[in-house]
């Protein structure tokens, strides 16, 4: 039945040779890989405004110069990632670039930060998408957490089905969102130019001095705005998915994405300023802007739907990246091996499920209020940003190809900006980003522990192919059959035991001298030719006396190199609830014996016919 539900939810299993890597053209790649970056437009500018409104609405004009700073940073990042694309055409994730150029520890730091970050991506994007939905339908506002969790479950199921094949389908919402945003910005500028649309609040003129605005506040607002740059790295990780010539196409797509992002960001910031929109908790800035420009008509709802869709798609970026990174790290033995296993639909299903479960956990813990996670998320992005730029600097210094000086300078500028932003984050938002200082070293230590264990296991399991198998004399083997009475099950176990060895011992553990005497009498009557050993259990435990008895047998067997096998029956009942009617203590006894002793447990199934 479970199998049927699984088929219904994620589809039939695929054969291994059904895997086919669709190569992406620029238009599809832009859609699939930029959803994370473009979706930041829906909450990035708002983050700047939230910082400024704390001083007063007159401070909101500072959002304009601050976003100018963000645009400069965007340009620097685009240029330096362009170089990574050409240097690592096999897909240079921060983990790979840092590991190769800076060593394992930096690679693990980048990898750990990214893994945590993808979880945050999903939680933050889906929560933001949910906010977009509940801004439009206030009745749902109290069910934010539930809506968000349902969305995560749906995305997880879609990814288990294998969403990578449906790039075409995914590209519609992205272009839909870009189109809607262009319409909003166009209408906004038209309204501003003609003065036909009344602002929500009057805006203060640019340059108005405001009490209480200092460098610290501005840096804080700037670092908030930087959260709009998350996702810029996506292209550089996915170069192999592009059509040939892959690096050229990826680089062009990256530039295209940078340009669109720049236009949307500046448009959003300008219009929010012009129409005097204040960030409030019950409605997003983008929703307010849409309402001001169009009223609550069909167009407004389309805008909200497109926002919700792009935010949900941004979560999907996490789903394409996390399982792949986990696979790479598991292949290098830094993550548990199950992350290398392909599921029924050829996706790395363990990675997909882990990501889904952890982001649901985050959403529930933070009750859907993931805004507070955005700074953490942004820091988590800038750590691998910084490390991959630094890695590239080392790369150029080592390789020194033609024109390496210029390339080095580009990455150097990128690196310097990234480190500055990291510093600004830690200076201005320490109370929100401090967990990074604890979590990242913690996961790096964990990666090392895992690595060490796998190396130790490999060492222990390695054998010399030239050494022949050890030979054991069959007649030395001892087979122990614990018996609870004289039944068909015991008969079956004894028959099996005797077919393996002539050295079979039946053991009965009794709670009272009377029970033991009765058993011995019946055994004598049965006349199987097999020796019965009876043990008296003072504490009604079966494991205890059995364990001691096996120890004695084992001690003798070890001298000849023989093995000791304990035969246990296991009942299989006709109806599931019947199994509740049988003491399942056999399972516990087997587990305890296997753990304590170096013996073999043979499980003989007994299938009830009714």
**Residue 541 binds a second copy, judged by CB under 8 A:** yes
> Under the criterion CB under 8 A, does residue 521 sit at the interface with a second copy?
no
Should residue 581 be labelled a site residue for a second copy when binding is judged by CB under 8 A? yes
Closest CA to 318 of 362, 365, 359, 347: 359
Residue 463 interacting with a second copy (CB under 8 A): yes
Segment near a second copy (CB under 8 A); pick from 59-67, 76-84, 164-172, 570-578: 570-578
Query: Contact between 512 and a second copy (CB under 8 A)?
Result: yes
- Pairwise CA distance, residues 506 & 488, whole Å: 15
Q: What phi, psi does 505 have (nearest 5°)? A: -125, 130
Q: Does 453 bind a second copy (CB under 8 A)?
A: yes
Q: For the CB of residue 15, give the shortest distance to a second copy in the complex, in Å.
A: 4
Output 160 or 381, the one with its CB closest to a second copy: 160
Q: Which helix (H) or strand (E) element contains residue 38?
A: helix 26-39
Binding to a second copy by residue 599, rule CB under 8 A? yes
Question: Measuring CA to CA, how many Å separate 209 from each of 88, 205, 541, 542?
Answer: 48, 10, 82, 84
Q: Alpha-carbon distance 471 to 519, whole Å?
A: 38
Report d(CA 560, CA 494) in Å as an integer.
24
With respect to a second copy, which residue has the nearer C-beta, 6 or 278?
6
Residue 262 binds to a second copy (criterion: CB under 8 A)? no
CA distances from 543 to 434, 517, 555, 588 (A): 50, 21, 18, 9
Question: Mask of contacts with a second copy, 4-43, x by CB under 8 A?
Answer: ---------xxxxx--------------------------
Q: Choose one: 78-86, 125-133, 548-556, 599-607; the region binding a second copy (CB under 8 A).
A: 599-607
Q: Is 532 in the site for a second copy (CB under 8 A)?
A: no
Closest CA to 123 of 363, 357, 348: 363
- Closer CB to a second copy, 16 or 196, in the complex: 16
Cα–Cα distance measured from residue 92 to residue 101, given in angstroms and rounded to the nearest whole number: 12
Closer of 431 and 464 to a second copy (Cβ): 464
Tell me: does residue 514 bind a second copy (CB under 8 A). Answer: no
Which residue's CB is nearer to a second copy, number 90 or number 598?
598
Residue selected from 201, 296, 331, 337 as contacting a second copy according to rule CB under 8 A: 337
Distance of CA 381 to the CA centre of its chain: 15
Smallest distance from the beta carbon of 463 to a second copy, in angstroms? Answer: 5
Q: Would you count residue 448 as binding a second copy (CB under 8 A)?
A: no
Judged by CB under 8 A, does residue 525 bind a second copy?
Answer: yes
- Single residue of 276, 305, 528, 586 touching a second copy by CB under 8 A: 528
* Distance in Å, CB of 328 to a second copy, minimum: 17
Burial class for 245, CB neighbours closer than 10 Å (0-12, 13-18, 19+): exposed
Only one of the segments 177-185, 231-239, 421-429, 600-608 lies at the binding site for a second copy (rule: CB under 8 A); that segment is 600-608
Return the number of the residue (202 or 605) whose C-beta is nearest a second copy: 605
* 601 lies in the binding site for a second copy (CB under 8 A): yes
Binding mask 466-505 for a second copy (x = CB under 8 A): --xxxxxxx--x--------xxxx-x--xxx-xxxx----
CB of residue 535 vs a second copy: minimum separation in angstroms? 13
> Can you point out the beta strands (E) in 238-319?
none
Question: What gap in Å lies between CA 105 and CA 262, rounded to an integer?
Answer: 34
Phi, psi of 479 (to 5 degrees): -115, 125
When asked if residue 154 is in the footprint of a second copy (CB under 8 A), the reply is no
Q: Does 551 bind a second copy (CB under 8 A)?
A: no
81 neighbors 384 (Cβ within 8 angstroms): no
Binding to a second copy in span 338-377, by CB under 8 A: 338, 341-342, 344
Query: What tokens appear for 374 in the block?
Result: 């955005």
Q: Is 580 in the site for a second copy (CB under 8 A)?
A: yes
Q: Cβ 545 to a second copy, closest distance in Å?
A: 13
Question: Does the footprint of a second copy cover residue 202 (CB under 8 A)?
Answer: no
The residue from 57, 266, 432, 570 that contacts a second copy (CB under 8 A) is 570
Q: How far is the CB of 477 from a second copy (least distance, A)?
A: 6
Tell me the C-alpha to C-alpha distance, in Å, between residue 554 and each of 548, 557, 560, 566, 588.
10, 5, 10, 11, 21
Q: Is 527 in the site for a second copy (CB under 8 A)?
A: yes
Determine the interface stretch with a second copy among 27-35, 362-370, 402-410, 519-527 (rule: CB under 8 A).
Answer: 519-527
**Which region among 25-33, 95-103, 196-204, 573-581 touches a second copy (by CB under 8 A)?**
573-581
Distant-in-sequence, close-in-space partners of 606: CB < 8 Å, separation ≥ 6:
488, 489, 492, 569, 570, 571, 572
Q: How far apart are CA 203 and CA 360, in angstroms?
A: 40
601, 568 in Cβ contact below 8 A? yes
Specify burial of residue 114 (Cβ count, 10 A radius: 0-12, 13-18, 19+).
buried
Q: What are the CA-CA distances from residue 86 to residues 12, 57, 79, 106, 233 (Å)?
A: 39, 45, 11, 22, 14
């Amino acid at each position: 039945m479970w199998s049927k539900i699984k088929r219904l939810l994620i589809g039939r299993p695929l054969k291994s040779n059904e895997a086919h890597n669709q190569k992406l053209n620029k238009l599809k790649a832009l859609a699939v890989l930029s959803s994370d970056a473009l979706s930041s437009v829906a909450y990035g500018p708002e983050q700047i405004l939230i910082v400024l409104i704390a001083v007063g609405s007159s401070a909101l004009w500072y959002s304009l110069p601050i976003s100018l700073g963000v645009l400069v940073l965007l340009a620097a990042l685009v240029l330096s990632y362009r170089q990574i694309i050409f240097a690592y055409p096999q897909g240079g994730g921060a983990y790979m670039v840092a590991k190769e150029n800076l060593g394992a520890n930096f690679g693990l730091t980048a990898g750990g930060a990214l893994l945590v970050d993808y979880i945050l991506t999903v939680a933050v994007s889906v929560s933001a998408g949910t906010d977009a939905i509940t801004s439009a339908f206030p009745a749902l506002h109290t069910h934010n957490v539930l809506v968000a969790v349902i969305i995560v479950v749906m995305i997880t199921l879609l990814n288990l089905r294998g969403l990578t094949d449906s790039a075409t389908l995914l590209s519609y919402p992205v272009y839909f969102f870009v189109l809607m945003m262009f319409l909003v910005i166009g209408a906004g500028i038209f309204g501003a130019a003609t003065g036909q649309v009344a602002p929500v609040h009057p805006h203060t003129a640019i340059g108005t001095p405001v009490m209480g605005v200092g460098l610290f506040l501005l840096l804080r607002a700037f670092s908030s705005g930087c959260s709009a740059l998350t996702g810029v790295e996506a292209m550089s990780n996915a170069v192999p998915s592009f059509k040939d010539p892959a690096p050229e196409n990826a680089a062009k797509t990256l530039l295209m994405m940078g340009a669109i992002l720049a236009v949307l960001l500046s448009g959003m910031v300008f219009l929010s300023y012009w129409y005097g929109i204040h960030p409030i908790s019950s409605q997003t800035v983008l929703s307010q802007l849409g309402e001001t420009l169009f009223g609550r008509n069909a167009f407004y709802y389309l805008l909200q739907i497109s926002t919700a869709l792009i935010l949900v798609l941004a979560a999907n970026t996490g789903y394409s990246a996390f399982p792949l990174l986990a696979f790479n790290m598991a292949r290098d033995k830094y993550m548990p091996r199950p992350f290398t296993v392909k599921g029924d639909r050829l996706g790395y299903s363990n990675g997909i499920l882990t990501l889904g479960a952890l982001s649901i956990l985050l959403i529930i813990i933070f009750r859907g209020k993931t805004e507070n996670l955005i700074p953490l998320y942004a820091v988590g992005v800038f750590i691998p940003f910084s490390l991959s730029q630094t890695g590239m600097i080392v790369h150029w210094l080592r390789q020194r190809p033609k024109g390496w000086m210029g390339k080095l300078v580009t990455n150097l500028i990128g690196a310097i900006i990234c480190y500055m932003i990291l510093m600004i984050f830690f200076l201005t938002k320490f109370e929100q980003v401090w967990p990074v200082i604890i979590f990242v070293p913690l996961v790096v230590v964990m990666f090392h522990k895992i690595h060490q264990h796998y190396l130790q296991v490999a060492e222990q399991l390695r054998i010399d192919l030239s050494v022949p198998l050890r030979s054991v004399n069959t007649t030395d083997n001892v087979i122990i059959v614990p018996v609870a009475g004289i039944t068909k099950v015991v008969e079956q176990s004894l028959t099996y035991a005797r077919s393996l060895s002539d050295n079979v011992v039946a053991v009965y553990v009794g709670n009272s001298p009377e029970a033991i005497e009765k058993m011995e009498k019946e055994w004598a009557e049965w006349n199987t030719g097999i020796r019965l050993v009876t043990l008296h259990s003072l504490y009604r435990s079966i494991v205890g006396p059995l364990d001691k008895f096996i120890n004695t047998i084992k001690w003798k067997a070890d001298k000849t190199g023989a093995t000791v096998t304990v035969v246990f029956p296991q009942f299989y009942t006709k109806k599931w609830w019947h199994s509740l009617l049988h003491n399942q203590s056999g399972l516990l006894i087997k587990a305890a014996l296997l753990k304590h002793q170096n013996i073999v447990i043979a499980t003989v199934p007994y299938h009830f016919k009714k």
